[in-house]
Amino acid sequence: MLKKLDEFTVGEKGIVKEVSGEGRIRRRLFDMGVTNGAEVYMRKAAPLGDPIEITLRGYELTLRKSEAACVTVEVQI
Amino acid sequence: MTFIEIAVIVACVAVVGGVIATTIINRIKGKKTGCCDCSYCDNCHCRDRQEK
Amino acid sequence: MIRIALAGNPNSGKTTLFNILTGSTAHVGNWPGVTVDKREGTYRKKDVSAVITDLPGIYSLSPYTPEEVITRNYILEEKPDCVINIVDATNLERNLYLTTQLMEIDVPLVVALNMMDEVKRRGESIDADALAQKTGVPVVAISALKGEGIDKLIQCAVSQAQHPRKGTTVLKDGNLKHLIGDIRIALESLSVDNTLFHAIKLTELDELETSLHPQLVPMVEKFKATFEDDTFGNDFEAFIANARYSYIAENFARALKTSGKQTGLTRSDKIDRVFTNRWLGIPIFLAIMFAVFHITFSENFLFLKAFIPEDWESLSGTAFSGVFGAGAVNSPGVILQSLTGVFTDWLTDTVRGWLSTSPQWVSGLICDGIMAGIGSVLSFVPQILLLFMFFSILEDSGYMARVAFILDRIFRKFGLSGRAFMPMIMGFGCSIPAMINTRTLADEKERTATIRVIPFFSCGAKLPILTAVAGAIVSSFGVSNADVITFAMYLIGIVTAILTVILMRNTSMRGETPPFIMELPAYHLPQFKSLMIHLWDKLKHFIKKAFTIILASTIVVWAAMHFSFDWQYLTDEQINQSILAGLGQLTQPLFTPMGFGSQLGEYGWVFAVAAVSGLIAKENVISTFGTLAACLGAVIGEDPSGVQYVEQMITFTGATVAGLVAFIVFNMTTIPCFAAVASAKGELRKGTFHRTLLFWLVTSYTAATVVYLVLSWWWTVFIVAAVAAAAVWGIVVYNKKHPVRSI
Query: Minimal Cα distance from C41: which residue of B?
Result: B50
Alpha-carbon distance of C163 to C573, in angstroms, equals 78
C182 three-state secondary structure: helix
Stretch (H or E) spanning C470: helix C463-477
pLDDT tens readout for residues C551-572: 888 888 888 888 888 888 887 7
Report the residue from B33, B43, B45 with minimal CB separation from C35: B43
Give the closest-approach CA distance of C191 to chain A in angstroms. 29
Helix (H, G, I), strand (E, B) or coil at C422: helix
Give tens-digit pLDDT for C387-408: 778 877 887 788 888 888 888 8
Question: Could you tell me what percent of chain C has a pLDDT over 70?
Answer: 90
Q: What is the pLDDT of residue C327?
A: 58
- Angle of CA points C371, C325, C666, to nearest 5°: 60
Distance from CA of B41 to the nearest CA of C (A): 6
Does an interface of 3+ CB pairs under 8 Å exist between B and A? Answer: no
Q: What is the pLDDT of residue C701?
A: 92
Whether residue C260 is predicted with pLDDT greater than 50 in this model: the reply is: no
d(C-alpha C639, C-alpha C346), whole Å: 9
Nearest to C516 among A33, A51, A59 (CB): A51
Q: Flag if C91 and A29 touch (Cβ within 8 Å).
A: no
Q: Do C37 and B20 touch (CB under 8 A)?
A: no
- For residue B52, pLDDT beyond 60: no
Give the residue-averaged pLDDT of C656-664. 89
| Range 42-71 of A in CB contact (< 8 A) with C | 44-51, 53, 57-64, 67
C112 membership: H or E segment, kind and range: strand C109-114
CATH number at residue A65: 2.30.30.90
Pairing assessment for the beta strands C82-88 and C109-114 based on DSSP bridges: parallel
pLDDT band at B50 (very low <50, low <70, confident <90, very high): very low
Q: What was the pLDDT predicted at C740?
A: 66
**pLDDT over 70 at C31, yes or no:** no
All structural domains of chain C:
2-161 (3.40.50.300), 332-714 (no CATH)
Instruction: Quote the CA–CA distance of B3 and B18 in Å, as a whole number.
Output: 22
Task: Report d(CA C473, CA C486) in Å as an integer.
Answer: 11
Kindly list the residues from chain B whose CB atom is less than 8 angstroms away from the CB atom of residue C40: 49-50
DSSP notation for C303-326: GGGGGS-TT--TTTTSTTGGGB-S
C557 and C580 in contact (C-beta within 8 Å)? yes
Q: Is the pLDDT of residue B27 over 80?
A: no
What gap in Å lies between CA C386 and CA C392, rounded to an integer? 10
Residue A2 has φ and ψ, to the nearest 5°, of -90, 140
Give the pLDDT band of residue A34 (cuts 50, 70, 90): very high
Is C4:C42 a contact under the CB 8 Å cutoff?
A: no
Using H for helix, E for strand and C for coil, what is the string for C19-42? HHHHCCCCCCCCCCCCCCCCEEEE
CB A64 to CB C442 under 8 A? no
Summarize the confidence of residues C600-604 as an average pLDDT. 78
Split at pLDDT 50, 70, 90, the class of C207 is confident
B41 and B47 Cβ atoms separated by less than 8 Å: yes
- pLDDT of amino acid A49: 85
Which ranges of C108-161 would DSSP assign to H, the alpha helix?
A: 116-121, 128-135, 150-161
Q: Is C119 on the interface with A (CB under 8 A)?
A: no
Interval C665-680 mean pLDDT:
83
Distance from CA of C455 to the nearest CA of A (A): 28
Cβ–Cβ under 8 Å, residues C607 and C653: yes
CA distances C366 to C360, C369, C375, C735, Å, are 10, 6, 11, 59
Across all residues in chain C, what is the average pLDDT?
81
Does C278 lie at the interface with A, CB-CB under 8 angstroms?
yes
pTM, two decimal places:
0.77
Contact with chain A for residue C518, Cβ under 8 A: yes
Q: For chain A, how many structural domains are there in total?
A: 1
What is the 3-state secondary structure of C698-742?
HHHHHHHHHHHHHHHCCCHHHHHHHHHHHHHHHHHHHHHHCCCCC
- pLDDT for the residue C261: 42
Q: Which residues of A touch C405 (CB under 8 A)?
A: 46, 51, 53, 62
Q: Are B34 and C429 inside 8 Å of each other by CB?
A: no
On the question of pLDDT at C431 being above 60, the answer is yes
Can you give the residue range of the structural domain that contains A57?
Answer: 2-76
Query: What pLDDT is stored for residue C103 in this prediction?
Result: 92
Question: What value does the mean pLDDT take over residues B42-46?
Answer: 40
Cross-strand bridge partners of residue A15: A39, A74
How do A52-56 and A59-63 pair as beta strands?
Answer: antiparallel
**pLDDT of B39 above 60:** no
C454-475: b (≥16 Cβ within 10 Å) or e: bbbbbbbbbbbbbbbbbbbbbb
Subunit contact A64:C412, Cβ cutoff 8 A: yes
Strand order in the sheet with C2-8: C39-45, C48-54, C2-8, C82-88, C109-114, C139-141
| Residue of chain C minimizing CA distance to A20 | C238
State what percent of residues in chain A have pLDDT above 70: 100
Cα–Cα distance, C89 to C517 (Å, whole number): 22
CA distance B28 to chain C (A): 15
In chain B, which residues have their Cβ closer than 8 Å to the Cβ of C556? 16
- For C66-82, the pLDDT digits (tens) are 677 878 888 888 889 99
- With an 8 Å Cβ cutoff, are A30 and C93 in contact? no
pLDDT computed for residue B29 by the predictor:
67
Containing H/E element for C175?
helix C174-189
Cα–Cα dist C18/C570, whole Å: 56
CB C372 within 8 A of CB C640: yes
Q: Which residues of B touch C358 (CB under 8 A)?
A: 2, 4-5
Its ipTM equals 0.94
Is pLDDT above 80 for C635?
no
Q: What percent of chain C has pLDDT over 90?
A: 12
CA of B33 vs chain C CAs: smallest distance (Å)? 7
| Count of CA atoms in the C-beta half-sphere (13 A) of C253 | 7
Q: Give Cβ neighbours of residue C260 (< 8 Å, ≥ 6 apart).
A: none
